[in-house]
Amino acid sequence: MLNELDAALTSEKRYDAAEAIPETDHHQVDAPMEPAYKILIADDHPLFREAISSVISSGFVGSEIIETADLDSALDITRENDDLDLILLDLNMPGMHGLNGLISLRNEAPTIPVVIVSAEEDKQVVLQAITYGACGFITKSSPRAQMTEAIQQILNGNVYLPSDIIRTGKESTNRRSRHEDNPISPELLNSLTRRQLLVLERMSKGESNKQIAYNLNIAETTVKAHVSAILRKLGVHNRVQAILSASDVDFSQYLKR
């Protein structure tokens, strides 16, 4: 009788072990995959299209890439592909006529994020591109890792600005920007709490809410609450307006208090 019971238990253990194997395999099959995107690269320089395609292929595995070399064909592609996740747009390719091409593309496809990718590094051009509807500006001199991070920020729904350009520039350009970009008055800056100033400072550097939360060691929901309070106190309607207004602010003098 005991021998029969031992045999039954041994058989049951073998059955349990056999059943456990598919569970492990099932877990491996359900492993999360990298998100895939559909991205249009509009640039008349084949070498740069190849370079940016390589950045996307390695940084966003499985993404579909469409390439074109002029504005007219870019407009046609956006009409035929309303499921595009992102358009990377050269500022100086045929048909663009400067920022007029950006305006045409935004009118044609207002729901598709457009990022300017250009060799241009003039601060006013960067700010005007954002004003005219671009959700980011990437310089062609950016390192590969920086390009990948910028594209990821934009795909996450954030605005990307090249902080090295936004916070520097020729003196004449800075004087012009203080007048044209509606800078924040000292009174409004003094109305912000220290934590709100820290959040605004990092916003002006192009950081996303997630990055700000990590760098300040606070919850992302707390960052969102601070951003809402900042927009309300500064009297601006969105994050881009706040970033543009704060681009020339010397935060150190306000954070001393």
At a CB cut-off of 8 Å and minimum separation 6, what does 191 contact? 233
Question: pLDDT at position 131, please?
Answer: 80
Q: What are phi and psi of 64, to 5 degrees?
A: -95, 130
Cα three-residue angle 70-72-75, rounded to 5 degrees: 110
- Report d(CA 68, CA 63) in Å as an integer: 16
Q: Which two tokens stand for residue 14?
A: 């073998």
Is the CB of residue 235 less than 8 Å from the CB of residue 187? no
Q: Where are the domains of the chain?
A: 38-166, 182-255
- What count of other Cβ atoms lies within 10 Å of the Cβ of residue 62? 10
Question: pLDDT at position 230, please?
Answer: 92
Digit-by-digit pLDDT tens for the chain (257 residues) are: 444 444 444 444 444 444 443 444 444 444 445 558 999 999 999 999 999 999 999 999 999 999 999 999 999 999 999 999 999 999 999 999 888 899 899 888 888 999 999 998 888 888 888 888 899 999 999 999 999 999 999 998 888 888 777 666 533 344 444 344 456 888 888 899 999 999 999 888 777 788 899 999 999 899 999 999 998 998 887 777 787 778 778 888 888 76
**Overall fold of domain 38-166:** Rossmann fold (3.40.50)
For the domain bounded by 182-255, which CATH number is listed? 1.10.10.10
Burial of 207 (C-beta count, 10 Å sphere; 0-12/13-18/19+):
buried
Question: pLDDT at position 178, please?
Answer: 39
- Report d(CA 72, CA 42) in Å as an integer: 10
Question: pLDDT at position 46, please?
Answer: 94
Is the CB of residue 118 less than 8 Å from the CB of residue 140? yes
Q: Which two tokens stand for residue 256?
A: 């001393």
Mapping DSSP to helix (H, G, I), strand (E, B) and coil, where does residue 240 land? Answer: helix
Is the CB of residue 108 less than 8 Å from the CB of residue 75? yes
Q: In the chain, what is the greatest distance between 2 CA atoms, to the nearest angstrom? A: 99
Q: Does pTM surpass 0.85?
A: no
- Report d(CA 165, CA 211) in Å as an integer: 20
